[in-house]
Amino acid sequence: MSDVKPIVRIPGTIKVRLGRGFSLGELKEANINLHDAKRIGLRVDLRRRSTHKENVESLRALLKELQKAEKKKGVKEDKKTAAKKEKESRVEETQKEISSEAILGGRTPLTTLKGLGPKTEAKLREVGVESVEELAEEDAELLSEATGIGVQKLSSWISEAKQLVKERRKES
């Protein structure tokens, strides 16, 4: 919720009190549509027809603060995005190096299979499955009991491994 509160004048007096929400006229003068006002957390009183300069000025000030905050956030996000892209490219290069080394040695790493990451690879290595070629020769149910990995996942990885091995043999 926004901490900006609307003020209203009591008709027939000079007294001022806090209002229930900003009027549509005040929002319009501050160039804020109803949807954006709700998204920001501003209260809107649809019954109010009056427009007060103080409310419009406070809305404009709030918009400037939000724009400054968004610019700062955008700069931080740009730095994060750049760092993330750099990290991803380093990871891809490393994976290509590992893949090419493994393929040249006649063995394909397990992480080349779709959805099989480093943690699962470690579990499979614990039970003696080191490469895609070895996985292609395994039984899903027995491997599931030994590793705790689901039978369906293992079955799909095994079938994918068999397909890869078959393709590699055709290339050779």
Read out DSSP for 137-163?
Answer: TS-HHHHHHHH---HHHHHHHHHHHHH
Q: Which helix (H) or strand (E) holds 16?
A: strand 16-18
Q: Specify the pTM.
A: 0.43
Give the per-residue pLDDT at 66.
86
Average the pLDDT over each of 35-39, 60-64, 71-75 and give the range with the smallest value: 71-75
Give the per-residue pLDDT at 126.
86
Instruction: Count Cα atoms within 13 angstroms, Cβ side, for 13.
Output: 6
Average the pLDDT over each of 11-15, 77-81, 98-102, 141-145 and give the range with the smallest value: 98-102
Distance from chain centroid for Cα 65: 26
Give the per-residue pLDDT at 104.
40
Going 147 to 153 to 158 to 164, the CA torsion angle's sign is negative
Res. 100: pLDDT tops 50: no
The structural domains of the chain, ordered by start, are: 7-68 (no CATH), 106-171 (1.10.150.20)
Q: Using only C-alpha atoms, what is the Rg of the chain?
A: 31
pLDDT in tens, 26-37: 999 999 988 888
Between CA 82 and CA 84 the distance in angstroms is: 5
User: Which one-letter amino acid corresponds to residue 10?
Assistant: I
Of 152, 164, 167, nearest to 113 (Cα)? 164
Answer with the residue of higher pLDDT: 148 or 98: 148
pLDDT in tens, 73-84: 766 666 777 777
Look up residue 117 and give its DSSP letter: -
Between CA 167 and CA 112 the distance in angstroms is: 14
Res. 48: pLDDT tops 50: yes
